[in-house]
Amino acid sequence: MSITEKTSVSFTLNGTHHTITVNPLRRFSDILREDLGLTGTKVGCDAGDCGACTIQVDGKQRYACLTAAAQLKGCNVRTVEGLSSNGNLSTLQLAFLDEGAAQCGICTPGMLMAAQSLLDQTPNPSEPQVLDALGGVLCRCTGYTKIVQAVLKAGQSSFSQTITEIENPSSEINRQKSVGTRMLKVDGYKKITGEEIFGADNAPENSLWLRAVRSPHARATFTHADPETVLKKFPGLVRVLTADDVPGNNGFGIYPHIKDQPVLAKNHVRFRGEAVLALVGDRESVESVTEDDLGLKWEVLEAVRGWKGALSGKLEPVQSEVPDNVLARGFLKKNDVEMAFSESDIVVEGKWTTSAVEHGYIEPEAGYARKVGQRLEIFVCTQTPYMDRDEVAQVMGLEPKQIRIIPSAVGGGFGGKLDLSLQPLVAIAAWILERPVRCIYTRPESLASTTKRHPVSMSAKAGCNRDGKLTAFEYHGDFNTGAYASWGPTVADRVPIHCSGPYLVPSVLAKTRALLTNESPSGAFRGFGVPQGSIASEALMDDLAEKTEIDPLEFRIRNALRKGDRTATSQLLENSVGQVECLEALQSHWQIWRKEAGVFNQNSTHKKRGVGCGSVWYGCGNTSLSNPSTMQVGINADGKITLYNGAMDIGQGANTIMIQICADALGLPATQFEYVMGDTDLTADAGKTSASRQAFVSGKAAQLAGENLRAKIILLAEAAENATLCLEQTDSSSGGKLIVADKTGSQEIILADILPLANGDVLTGEGTFDPPTTPLDENGQGSPYATYGFGAHIAEVEVDTLLGTTKVLRLAAAHDVGKAINPTQLEGQIQGGIAQGLGMALMEEYIQGVSENLHDYLMPTVGDMPEIKVILIEDQEPLGPFGAKGIGEHALIPTAPAILGAIKQATGVSINHLPVTPDRLYTALREAENK
């Protein structure tokens, strides 16, 4: 009965009997993914905290990462691969597809298995049952709304009748216009079947593993043993990489002139989590080598912490090149604020601080590199393949064209996958060793080593007239940018432009600083500092409304930017300024909710409800910088039409909308399109998936590419401008045909008759768009963005004033998106943004060394979400594709201000530090009572 090391375990997996010989405590997630090659089951934490690995064991949902092999003896196991049968999707999968419940898709297999376990027992579940069943799976993209809807829908008998339509969307095929429709995600099928390949799901068979050894100290000098002696002790280790192994520049960073973060630190570390060595070898060996084995000796130095520490000047600066720790400053001055304040009837001010916030994508960083001739191929989850290519090239001392980035499907990014993570490490190892090398970050490693949302310490002041017209706004913000630049300077620049909110303010003064500390580098995170700044401006709007006795929503409407107004940078807004419409669209909810909350409060002693609001405006694209996108489309001899899309889809849905846009511009059905995503060898540069720019900038490029191809076809067929196109696709040797018809008749283009390009395409189109901006002058005046998105949220909360707990009950969000290319995807973005905003407001706080796992770093679960109403406003942007502009970051910005406003309305207490955890709110409430 004794079993040493390995045991044989038999179980049924997706209907097939398996007997395997394994270590009895091997995690079943590893068995599935590595031993059996079933990568549909995902691993987000390996610790029972995220639910990505949820499977069914004897019909019950379980975490595969907490299930030991021996526990499965004789069990019946089902994974996402077993949900569909003979290629037929299950009802639940179809409901997910139909609702748009999968965005990035990394949580989807776990969600599906959790939901299936419920449906197997309770075919027609109630909403609370659904919430309870899904409570153990985290999703960072969707805000859960569409997932819950999908599960409820799958439980309804009426849904099965509509299934044939989803499976065979014939109505879609014939539909000529795709923009504005709820077209199903083009990559949706892969995401609901587990077929999607994420960073950790693929690597060449003979890959070596790489693990970075990281600093446990915030600031220290260190020495280590000679790698050769370590290699001798561990036969499974192939190489120990040190800073001296970096062939090119041992420094990276997103700005051309700041490459301050070493790939591997040399002698000196500046934050806890910084990479110092990289172990390469077989998996067991790289995982088992300890610090002692490496002879790592640390000399711990006192760390610069927080805003005060950065500015105190007591310690050596974090980086010797920046003696005062002020990495960057932002400045904006419009008219004379001092005078404007002195002439204002009412002036209010305040101070706020916020915490570091983690992106919390469910997919930890993963990928591999391999050397192919004199080139490197890197397969990795990234938001920015082209920037990765250039960065890796300079770290390797190679030409950019020697690097190929092949993006995996990305399991969420939110700004966190804009910076390099494992790319340079695997690149160096694969280059030196001439073997493929893979790396998967552990969850604690991902948390400790990647960027965060900037903690900020800010003060602001606002003034208005007695009739509630804003006169002046002043803002000071110190952003803790951590040990390295990352996107710190961008944050310092973006915040002054946006800090006075979507309001007409005649005089504005804003000053920001990005401060270096020995803390996690702060980088890009949905909104680049604007979400933090909005907390100040929106709180002040509430204060002014109170002082002028004007309803807060009405106050915002009075002051909202309108067409013809000039912004804080004195940019004239000529088009697409839907702020007033957004606020007005919320008015009826606002009035009803406020009234209902008042009635509730009259009858409740310690539970109090309140309704608050917040506004957003946010420039789409890079600030005053050229940020062009190029898109290409091609048709080959078979009539296969491909969009070469360099605009990374990280779950937000670029894959789908780029096709919708290009298809309509070209005049062919979107359903005929195929696509290539973000491969630097196959697609043109469409810039970064950041700054809410892809729908606007790359979308426009996709439109231009479609129009370009159309123009060529029309010319070829000598047809009229408004001719209709019809593409006959075929696999046979006779080839595909394009039929071009106009009033005078129809023309057939035999595609095989045209000489093909190297990639096989016979007809191609290309479009490039670079949004027009102007540089900002020394006072930060100019036109930094070609267009802005606008919006507002209202939130109702219930506070238990004796416990300090806050529950967000409902939330309504109105956003001016220019044109809704795909309403389902927009709703998904907004619902997901709300979830992140809610987390930032109420629970998310990253503390190094403490919340380095998803057990202690709390992000909202399905049970924390309010009922959400989304309202889309379309004030078309003439520059955008079919009038569209961005939504990605806008969706999150107004949520926290609305929640804070609601808490204040409920309790009378303003909270000036985020997140508003129960103990903070409790303390503030008691202090208010004692005053």
Ligand X SMILES: Cc1cc2nc3c(=O)[nH]c(=O)nc-3n(C[C@@H](O)[C@@H](O)[C@H](O)COP(=O)(O)OP(=O)(O)OC[C@H]3O[C@@H](n4cnc5c(N)ncnc54)[C@H](O)[C@@H]3O)c2cc1C
Shortest distance (Å) from residue 799 CB to ligand X: 24
> Is residue 24 a contact point for ligand X (CB under 6 A)?
no
Q: If binding means CB under 6 A, how many residues of this protein chain bind ligand X? A: 2
Q: Which listed residue (12, 20, 23, 48) binds ligand X by CB under 6 A? A: 48
| C-alpha angle 854-857-858 in degrees, rounded to nearest 5 | 95
**Of residues 102 and 611, the one with the C-beta less far from ligand FES:** 102
* One of 55, 102, 183, 337 touching ligand FES (CB under 6 A): 102
651 binds, among ligand FES, another protein, ligand X, none (CB under 5 to 8 A by kind): ligand FES
Binding of ligand X by 852 (CB under 6 A): no
Nearer to ligand FES, 49 or 761 (CB): 49
| Pick 49 or 816: Cβ nearer ligand X | 49
Stretch that binds ligand FES, among 40-48, 279-287, 472-480, 706-714 (CB under 6 A): 40-48
Instruction: Give the end-to-end CA distance of the chain in Å, rounded to a whole number.
Output: 70
* Gap between the Cα atoms of 423 and 366, Å rounded: 9
Burial of 832 (0-12, 13-18, 19+ CB in 10 A): buried
Among positions 507-526, residues that touch ligand X (CB under 6 A) are none
Using alpha carbons only, what angle is made at residue 251 by residues 250 and 253, rounded to the nearest 5 degrees?
Answer: 160
Q: Which of another protein, ligand X, ligand FES, none does residue 856 bind (CB under 5 to 8 Å by kind)? A: another protein
Q: Which does 358 bind (CB under 5 to 8 A by kind): ligand X, another protein, ligand FES, none?
A: none
Neighbouring residues of 131: CB distance < 8 A, sequence distance ≥ 6: 148, 862, 863
Q: Does 76 bind another protein (CB under 8 A)?
A: no
CB nearer to ligand FES: pick between 63 and 234: 63
Choose from ligand FES, ligand X, another protein, none: what does 917 bind? Cβ within 5-8 Å by kind: another protein
Among 22, 33, 49, 839, binds ligand FES (CB under 6 A): 49
Q: Yes or no: say if 902 and 611 are a contact pair by the CB < 8 Å rule.
A: yes
- In this chain, which of 40, 51, 412, 771 binds another protein, going by CB under 8 A? 51
Amino acid at 527: G
Specify the amino acid at residue 544: L
CB of 484 closer than 8 Å to CB of 265: no
* Residue 869 C-beta-side C-alpha neighbours within 13 Å: 17
Question: Quick one: DSSP state of residue 798?
Answer: E
Cα–Cα distance between 416 and 421 in angstroms, integer? 9
Which strands, in side-by-side order, build the sheet including 268-269?
268-269, 220-223, 297-300
C-alpha of 136 from chain center: 21
Phi, psi of 442 (to 5 degrees): -80, 165
Nearer to ligand X, 64 or 332 (CB): 64
Q: Determine which residue in the list 67, 103, 532, 652 makes contact with ligand FES, applying CB under 6 A.
A: 103
Contact 791, 814 (CB under 8 A): yes
Q: How far is the CB of 664 from ligand FES (least distance, A)?
A: 27
- Angle of CA points 519, 523, 527, to nearest 5°: 135
- Quick one: 72 or 657, whose CB is closer to ligand X? 72
Binding of ligand FES at residue 862 (CB under 6 A)? no
- Least Å distance between CB 920 and another protein? 9
Least distance in Å: CB of 652 to ligand FES?
10
State the Cα–Cα distance between residues 512 and 491, nearest whole angstrom.
9
Could you give the string, one character per residue 410-429, with x where binding to ligand FES holds by CB under 6 A and - elsewhere?
--x-----------------
DSSP 90: P
Check binding of 803 to another protein (CB under 8 A): yes
Closest distance to another protein from the beta carbon of 619 (Å): 34
Residues β-bridged to residue 914:
none
**Residue number with CB closer to another protein (111 or 536):** 111
Q: How far is the CB of 396 from ligand X (least distance, A)?
A: 40
Closer to another protein at the Cβ: 2 or 603? 2
Q: Which stretch binds another protein (CB under 8 A): 96-104, 625-633, 684-692, 911-919?
A: 911-919
274 binds ligand X (CB under 6 A): no
Contact 790, 886 (CB under 8 A): no
Which residues contact residue 338 at a Cβ distance below 8 angstroms, ignoring those fewer than 6 apart? none
Q: Which of residues 347-406 bind ligand FES (CB under 6 A)?
A: 362
Distances in Å between the alpha carbon of 636 and those of 226, 422, 674, 758, 837?
Answer: 56, 36, 12, 11, 45
CA distance 730 to 728: 7
- Contact between 48 and another protein by CB under 8 A: the answer reads yes
Q: What single string gives the DSSP state of each residue in 494-524?
A: HHHHHTT-SB--SEEEEEEEEEE-SSPPB--
Q: Which does 132 bind (CB under 5 to 8 A by kind): ligand FES, another protein, ligand X, none?
A: another protein
What torsion, rounded to 10 degrees, do the Cα atoms 267, 268, 274, 277 define?
Answer: 0
> Could you tell me which residues come within 8 angstroms of residue 295 by beta carbon, excluding any fewer than 6 positions away?
223, 224, 225, 229, 230
Cα distances (Å, whole numbers) of residue 570 to 105, 529, 754, 776? 42, 21, 52, 10
Q: Which of 30, 46, 49, 889 touches ligand X (CB under 6 A)?
A: 49
CB of 692 to ligand FES, least distance (A): 18
State which residue, 255 or 922, has the beta carbon closest to another protein. 922
Enumerate binding residues for ligand X (CB under 6 A).
48-49
Enumerate binding residues for another protein (CB under 8 A).
1-5, 7, 23-25, 27, 46-49, 51, 54, 57, 60-63, 66-68, 70-71, 73, 114, 117, 131-133, 135-138, 802-805, 842-843, 847, 850-851, 855-856, 858, 860-864, 917-919, 922-923
Enumerate binding residues for ligand FES (CB under 6 A).
43-46, 48-53, 63, 65, 102-107, 139-142, 362, 412, 651
